[in-house]
Amino acid sequence: MDMNSINIEEIVKQVLSGMAGNSASAAPAAASAPAAGGEIPKVAHVAMLTGLEHFDVKEFPMPEVGDDDILVRVEGCGVCGTDAHEFKRDPFGLIPVALGHEGTGEIVKMGKNVKKDSAGKELKLGDKVVTCMIFKDDPDITMFDLNKQNVGGADVYGLLPDDDIHLNGWFSDYILIRKGSTVFNVSDLDLDSRILIEPCAVLVHAVERAKTTNILRFNSRVVVQGCGPIGLICIAVLRTMGVENITAVDGNEMRLNFAKEMGATETVNFTQHQGIEALAGAVKDSFGGHLADFAFQCTGSPVAHSNIYKFIRNGGGLCELGFFINGGDATINPHFDICSKEITTVGSWVYTLRDYATTFDFLKRAKGIGLPMEKLITHRFALEDINEALKTNLEMKGLKIAIVNDSKNR
């Protein structure tokens, strides 16, 4: 993949038009000095997945920063379920690979051609940034008909094949953002919020997909199945949009309690109900004798997918977003589950550039109404402890696990 051959301004100018308002004034020419905090070291440290369930923290020479590149000092990066899948099974066949795509950090060096971010906002040394996707030369994506094809054909930092630069993932102390990448200035958000941008964008996109059914409204009865980080963020997004009648379904009482902090009005612990009829009855009871108008299925369990239809009223809607990778087949009855109930179903996978930018405002709104988003990050590890961090994620000991490079933020 030759990222230098891609003209990002041409790719994003339509999808981001109107987001930035008036164009930002040109940044000063050629910024090449390090940001406040000292000189740039001669080597970078990268957590390289070298085998199943094993990272080695390796040293690599600090690369040259090209005219269109940005060198970022990494401050933190969340551990995603995708990282855990790669750690355990290498389903994408990328080993050896530098992982980490929920990262953020500070610009310490910029090429002379870098003047603004992908939304038209000025970039300068010391700004805090995140990356979104790296577009390939795919006309179905660049047509911006996202109902025709989503952004699944794009790349992201943290899931790139290794190369001679190596600074390809956010599980590191430096990352080189190259020409052809999307980058956003998020200096107005705190570190915890910035680490949560990528997973929150997944849910902003899912709720936007749900809204296309014209079923999800302020007064909708909504069930969210699965209260891991994705389900909990789903509840938060719904709550910030004014949806107040939300029932959370999970088998972990601690997560169900946190779901209420995030905005759920009722909870159902599926371990306390034997059989799908009893479970569906409990969901119905939580809505005062009514089934849900809309449901979000946020687990990667085929059984959970099969069950979710029983929670939804005739004419209701469903957003399935739990299967980022192949989790196996689910069994449903098309007559009872879809046809006779006239269920409207949408799938959701990843996000668009516009969803990413919208997420910045969601995080500000969530904080504004007092949702404890920062409590989603339950464990913080140093880069050298990344193997322990991934094992903690796999053991489901917390919610969002993060690698944080500054000890004062752990």
pLDDT tens-place string over residues 188-203: 999 999 999 999 999 9
**Residue 62: enclosing H or E segment and its boundaries?**
none
Which residues of 91-145 form beta strands (DSSP E)?
A: 97-98, 102-110, 128-134
Average pLDDT, the chain: 89
Grade residue 38 by pLDDT with cuts at 50, 70 and 90: low
The rounded distance, in Å, linking the Cα atoms of 249 and 223 is: 7
Lowest mean pLDDT among 36-50, 89-103, 164-178: 36-50
Give the pLDDT confidence of 272-282 residue by residue, as tens digits: 999 999 999 99
Task: Reduce the DSSP state of residue 164 to 3 states and report it.
Answer: coil
- Tell me the residue type at 389: A
Q: Do domains 3-188+373-409 and 201-347 have the same CATH topology?
A: no
CATH of domain 3-188+373-409: 3.90.180.10
Mean pLDDT over 297-306 rounds to 96
Query: Would you kindly state where each structural domain of the chain is located, as residue ranges?
Result: 3-188+373-409, 201-347
Q: Between β-strands 54-61 and 128-134, what pairing exists: parallel, antiparallel or unpaired?
A: unpaired
Lowest mean pLDDT among 104-108, 219-223, 353-357, 371-375: 353-357
Using alpha carbons, select from 19, 63, 374, 9 the residue that is nearest to residue 190.
374
Residue 77: strand pairing partners = 103, 403
Is 70 exceeded by the pLDDT of residue 35?
Answer: no
Is 70 exceeded by the pLDDT of residue 403?
Answer: yes
Using alpha carbons, select from 402, 399, 375, 401 the residue that is nearest to residue 228.
399
Using alpha carbons, select from 213, 222, 268, 261 the residue that is nearest to residue 241.
222
Q: Could you identify the residue written with the tokens 């943290």?
A: 158
- Tell me the residue type at 188: D
Is 60 exceeded by the pLDDT of residue 28?
Answer: no
pLDDT computed for residue 288 by the predictor: 98
Cα-based torsion angle of the residue sequence 199, 130, 182, 165 in order, rounded to the nearest 10 degrees: -110
Give the pLDDT confidence of 45-97 residue by residue, as tens digits: 999 999 999 999 999 999 999 999 999 999 999 999 899 999 999 988 999 99
Contact 214, 293 (CB under 8 A): no
Contact 289, 266 (CB under 8 A): no
Task: Reduce the DSSP state of residue 165 to 3 states and report it.
Answer: coil
pLDDT computed for residue 303 by the predictor: 96
Is domain 201-347 annotated with CATH 3.40.50.720? Answer: yes
Mean pLDDT over 366-382 rounds to 96
The rounded distance, in Å, linking the Cα atoms of 21 and 119 is: 9
Grade residue 347 by pLDDT with cuts at 50, 70 and 90: very high
Give the pLDDT confidence of 100-119 residue by residue, as tens digits: 999 999 999 999 999 999 88
